[in-house]
Amino acid sequence: MVTAEPVSHTALVRRARRINRELALLYPDAHCELDFKSPLELLVATILSAQTTDKRVNMVTPTLFARYPTAADYAAADRDELEKIIQSTGFYHAKANSLMGLGQALCERYGGEVPPRLKDLVTLPGVGRKTANVVLGNAFGVPGLTVDTNFGRLARRFGWTTSLDPEKVEAEVATLIPRKEWTILSHRLIWHGRRVCHSRRPACGACALARLCPSFGEGPTDPVVAAKLVKPGPFS
Ligand code: SF4
């Protein structure tokens, strides 16, 4: 077991890369659990995924994508109809506002296309850094760290950061992990957070990272107790 003593940056980098390699072995097929076929579809699905599960979003998007195939369709959407389709994802008034505003902004400023740059994406309605990085990493192949609640919690448990601010977490993890690994690392952390390293009771006694993790013991260490906490997935 690794202690929680302060470690040098070099040691932190070495341990972070070992954790990333272990996660790669654990989750060889880690991927974005939202269904999409284009940057626009992924952008819309990511906006809808706020405060709900990817599984729930994937139940809604086949109908949504068929009804609104282009940015112009969202711009011209009938609000009641749009809200009805996305209602089960929660916060549907705000999400409808974002999708209609997104469609208008894409048509007015980007010829109806999703721009492939972070600085442009974050100017769009409903799009913060996390959503922008999801789209860059998964629809455009531009490496991005997508700091959601799972990512942030695990990064803190691994001692990669102490910050609760997603932007600071992103900046600190970026110094530990090679850029080309950023998107896949994000998926691996999210997968491990959903399956094993839960917020309330992490399954430490059943965790393959136990010997590398300075937070081992934050959850039950008994293997039998811990095994019952593991959620096998899939979550999509
Ligand atoms: S489950 Fe426990 S040992 Fe595994 S990563 Fe989370 S805190 Fe660390």
- Sign of the C-alpha dihedral computed for residues 132, 133, 136 and 139 taken in this order: negative
pLDDT of residue 7: 81
Spatial separation of the C-alpha atoms in residues 32 and 184, rounded to whole Å: 9
Whether residue 206 has its Cβ less than 6 Å from ligand 1 = no
The token pair that represents 104 in the structure block: 């208008």
- pTM for this entry: 0.90
Q: Which of 95, 148, 168, 180 is catalytic?
A: 148
Spatial separation of the C-alpha atoms in residues 173 and 54, rounded to whole Å: 24
Would residue 35 show up in a list of annotated catalytic residues for this protein? no
What band does 94 get if pLDDT is binned at 50, 70 and 90? very high
Q: Counting atoms of ligand 1 from 1, which one is nearest the CA of 196?
A: 1
What band does 233 get if pLDDT is binned at 50, 70 and 90? confident
In contact, 89 and 34? CB cutoff 8 Å: no
Spatial separation of the C-alpha atoms in residues 91 and 234, rounded to whole Å: 24
pLDDT of residue 236: 63
Each residue of 121-150: pLDDT tens digit?
999 998 999 999 999 999 999 999 999 999
| Residue 97 scores a pLDDT above 80 | yes
Each residue of 185-222: pLDDT tens digit?
999 999 999 999 999 999 999 999 999 999 999 999 99
Q: Reduced to 3 states, what is the DSSP secondary structure of residue 137?
A: helix
Each residue of 12-63: pLDDT tens digit?
999 999 999 999 999 999 999 999 999 999 999 999 999 999 999 999 999 9
Q: What is the mean pLDDT of the chain?
A: 95
Spatial separation of the C-alpha atoms in residues 225 and 206, rounded to whole Å: 9
User: Could you count the other beta carbons within 10 Å of the beta carbon of residue 130?
Assistant: 22
What are the two backbone dihedrals, phi and then psi, of residue 8, each rounded to the nearest 5 degrees? -70, 160
Closest CA to 18 of 191, 208, 206: 208
Spatial separation of the C-alpha atoms in residues 196 and 162, rounded to whole Å: 21
Would residue 84 show up in a list of annotated catalytic residues for this protein? no
Q: What is the mean pLDDT of residues 2-10?
A: 71
In contact, 36 and 45? CB cutoff 8 Å: yes
Query: What spacing in Å lies between the alpha carbon of 60 and ligand 1's midpoint?
Result: 33
Query: What spacing in Å lies between the alpha carbon of 204 and ligand 1's midpoint?
Result: 5
Whether residue 213 has its Cβ less than 6 Å from ligand 1 = yes
What are the two backbone dihedrals, phi and then psi, of residue 231, each rounded to the nearest 5 degrees? -105, 120
